[in-house]
A and B are shown apart, each in its own frame.
Chain A
């Protein structure tokens, strides 16, 4: 595997967004993942979302750990800085980056091994601190990069490639995130762009910790019969409980829905999410109900997807820490260093 630059040739008729950029401007280097890997579709969804949101790519930073999934930030947004850190430790690096400059948007990409095992602690604490970022887990139930060991999100009933049984119950990261206090929690499927792109757009517009568990099948090690993270199994057993429309700040809402079947939520940047409830008695602002829903579906052998929980009231890290509005990395000697008189009076107090 080596670093392959994508040819930067532009078709003159490619659609442009309000920044005058095409989708190609949001792409990255050529992917070196296996052909058909779910992770590549997630990268494509991120590209699409950023393009549609008219985001200046350099005002976004990509953070990741280690794994096939964590490699993907090279394959999208080549004009953004990226940080491929160490296995399971992306949350802390993202937290530090966020403290230094919270004017950038942060996309963290991780795997189920990276997040649910080695990095479980860091994940929990980034959620708890409400770090302002989008955290995506590309969940394939396996350790792709180390060739197919069970991960902690692999369901108990799910068999290994050679029919091996899994002795332990799986960790549901979306349920975990809700319980830990993430203010935006969704679940998507790499094979369902219609659902995933608006959810990513909403998550990027949300202030606070936005988590999306994306079921992203590993075609090489976990896409067989008997796996509950295969394309086929997931297509058959996915149950969307909400459909998300993302409505940009000044965009008009055209479609009309029946009373009570939609919930509109205004995000911090005055964009809106319109949640069409596919399950009539679902309330995405109620964390306990959200958890119940997830568990109810799990008992039926199904997987609840869609925007599962949304809370726009909670504050994010910077506010919680009562920090100044300007990014800390923009402060210089004049703002940061007390003068000599201050130091002299400290000396005096120590005599």
Chain B
């Protein structure tokens, strides 16, 4: 009997209305207190192509993607063969038995529920017949997996509050499936869900919604963006939350401005214009958008204008796999734009960090007067994650950085926009309109002296460029520092990782531990790299670096920026577009260590 530890996958047709039923299923498990990681695997298509919803349920909170399907809900004839193949030996196939299908595997258990027939008998409107099939298979699963039926019924009532007419037929459809399962099958199966308190006070939300909410709490007032998967929902979330939280009570007017720009060049241009003028502004995009924004990013770097960008990375290069995940824009973002340019990157690894880092990013961008790019990805951005609740430190204000007001300007003898007054490489700026006589300057992408005047004097340019390096070094101490996996290091080997890989690392470490491989871990959270990152690499003989791209881009950045002997960092890479699994990490490390993975004991679940 397997309790609270399985992967279930729903194979559907895009546009058939399965998404909300599948989400209902995942949320019901979450409400039972069991950690859950739902993932949409969807095509770049609006209607008709296969789409999947994969859901890992794990009582220990190991929620990284795991290969091998324990239960397949196969609702799509198009992908039927492929779906059947994906089921682990001993696993289950739930299908619509209204239609007779050949099942060529005898090592799996089949559960046929005549979903179409049941729904056709119960409902009359064609659209309802179609939609409620989805609800009915969720109903069947509640019986088969022994799920708390009151919870799911309660969720239906919540979901359709205000549209009460819809409650009864939805519950009806749930019961159709559930009753059929209870009547014809031996319920529960030997895989089941059991109520637990493993979720605690955690919440279920996707990274993009968390980022959009973070921007509201960060005091962002201007958002300019151009639609692109998988980043669109950042702007949409910002807009939704603004409508709830940012309407002026007295006038009913908006304390925000959201512009759907004509392209990404305009989006970042608006962001730069607004930040230059003292409003907190951001954009959200993905790889192709970053490419387009590059020229402007160089301007913001050189003219020292704050900007916040969310890059929700997807599969590249070019249009690549727009609906799959990768961490393959590291180089493109770190060095975006021509000339000697570098940018601050922040790597959130769960929705809670998307929220926190949104707040952090605006403070950093204004403190450092430079673009800050939050490097999320499709897996984090578009899937719901079981994650820690959002917290706000109300004692902390917005750090608007070094901005002089009129009184301060009165006290300054001669204002120099690019003077390093404090020795940290960060100059003082002024907003337009501050003072009638002092503080005006000309922002330019051409070479300039400390007083923002145009210069072609090479030595002045060198001075400015070196101050920018100095400023970047100051940033090392301000960006989010790394997170250690252990209190005291005990191994000669280290493992570095960042972003969404984090979700698979604890499980990988446990599996490695079982194989007697001990490794210290550190999660990198920002570029430039703080000293602790260099120290960690220095203090280990061999360091693995897990990345979800082909070229080991973060490794290149580390080698380049910290002058590390390349051979010391062993890349552990996955870039097939699916989130990296613990097994992948373990196999690649074992292989690198010359240990035959099969011998050491195979993958976690696939062999069970």
Contact = CB atoms under 8 A, between A and B. Distances in A.
Contact of A351 (B203, B246, B398): B203
B484 interface: no
B172 interface: no
Interface stretch (A188-196, A208-216, A303-311, A325-333): A325-333
A93 B272 contact: yes
Interface string B250-285: 010111110101110111111111111111010000
A340 B278 contact: no
Contact of A96 (B213, B248, B271, B453): B271
Nearest to B252: A322
Interface string A80-97: 111111100101111111
A74 interface: yes
Interface in B390-409: 390-392, 394, 397-398
Interface string A272-299: 0000000000000000000000000000
Interface stretch (B61-69, B340-348, B442-450, B580-588): B442-450
A323 B433 contact: no
B138 interface: no
A96 B283 CA distance: 12
Contact of B440 (A79, A125, A343): A79
Interface stretch (A100-108, A174-182, A237-245): A100-108
A315 to B, nearest CB: 13
A347 B279 contact: no
A86 B266 CA distance: 11
A321 interface: yes
Contacts of B378: none
Contact of A2 (B251, B262, B275, B457): B457
Contacts of A97: 273-274, 276-277, 432
A3 B454 contact: yes
Nearest to A32: B454
B308 to A, nearest CB: 13
B299 A338 contact: no
Contact of B222 (A5, A100, A332, A343): A100
A59 B432 CA distance: 7
Interface in B356-406: 389-392, 394, 397-398
A226 B273 CA distance: 40
Interface in A198-215: none
B413 interface: no
A332 B456 CA distance: 40
B397 A333 contact: yes
B434 interface: yes
Contact of A346 (B213, B256, B435): B213
B455 interface: yes
B398 A81 contact: no
B354 interface: no
A328 B255 contact: yes
Classify chain B's interface size.
35 or more
B442 A95 contact: no
Nearest to B199: A351
Pick from B263, B390, B432, B446 the residue with the most CB of A within 10 Å. Answer: B432
A79 B436 contact: yes
Given A83-B273, A336-B246, A92 B203 contact: no
Pick from A94, A328, A332, A351 the residue with the most CB of B within 10 Å. Answer: A328
| Residues of B contacting A: mostly | loop
A103 B248 contact: no
B389 A95 contact: no
Pick from B278, B391, B431, B442 the residue with the most CB of A within 10 Å. Answer: B442
A337 B217 contact: yes
Contacts of B436: 56-58, 79
B442 A86 contact: no
A121 B265 CA distance: 10
Contacts of A343: 217, 390-392
A61 B273 CA distance: 11
A95 B219 CA distance: 19
Contacts of A79: 436-437, 440
Contacts of A335: 255
B180 interface: no
A329 B277 contact: yes
Contact of B295 (A84, A86, A350): A86
A108 to B, nearest CB: 11
A12 B301 CA distance: 44
Contacts of A323: 253-257
B522 interface: no
Interface string A158-183: 00000000000000000000000000
Contact of A58 (B30, B434, B455): B434
B323 interface: no
A81 B455 contact: no
Contact of B216 (A96, A100, A338): A338
Nearest to B220: A336
B74 interface: no
Nearest to A77: B440
A61 B261 CA distance: 22
Contacts of B254: 321-324
A122 interface: yes
A104 B255 contact: no
Contact of B443 (A81, A98, A101, A322): A81
A1 interface: yes
Given A2-B454, A96-B222, A99-B257, A328 B440 contact: no
Contacts of A113: none
B3 interface: no
A78 interface: yes
A11 interface: no
A256 interface: no
Pick from A63, A335, A336 the residue with the most CB of B within 10 Å. Answer: A336
A336 B219 contact: yes
B415 to A, nearest CB: 12
Contacts of B213: 346
B269 A122 contact: yes
Interface in A96-131: 96-101, 103-104, 121-122, 124-125, 129
B205 interface: yes
A85 to B, nearest CB: 6
Contacts of A258: none
Contact of A325 (B253, B257, B272, B390): B253
A42 B31 CA distance: 68
A176 to B, nearest CB: 15
Interface string B412-454: 0000000000000000001111111100111111100100011
A78 B299 CA distance: 22
Nearest to B454: A3
Interface string B213-230: 100110101101000000
Contacts of A122: 262, 265-266, 269
Contact of A329 (B204, B431, B453): B431
Pick from A57, A81, A86, A351 the residue with the most CB of B within 10 Å. Answer: A81
B443 A340 contact: no
Contacts of A93: 269-270, 272-273, 276
B246 to A, nearest CB: 7
Contacts of A351: 30-31, 201-204
A121 B251 contact: no
23 contacts: A2-B456, A58-B434, A58-B436, A63-B273, A84-B442, A85-B269, A92-B224, A92-B261, A93-B276, A95-B224, A97-B273, A101-B433, A103-B433, A121-B263, A122-B265, A323-B256, A323-B257, A331-B219, A337-B219, A340-B392, A340-B394, A343-B392, A351-B203
Given A81-B441, A84-B444, A96-B270, 5 more contacts: A61-B277, A80-B440, A91-B266, A100-B277, A100-B281
- The list of the 7 closest CB pairs from A to B, nearest first, reads A96-B273, A92-B269, A100-B279, A96-B270, A3-B453, A81-B432, A329-B278
Interface of A: 1-3, 5, 29, 56-59, 61, 63, 73-74, 78-86, 89, 91-101, 103-104, 121-122, 124-125, 129, 321-325, 328-329, 331-333, 335-340, 342-343, 346-347, 350-351
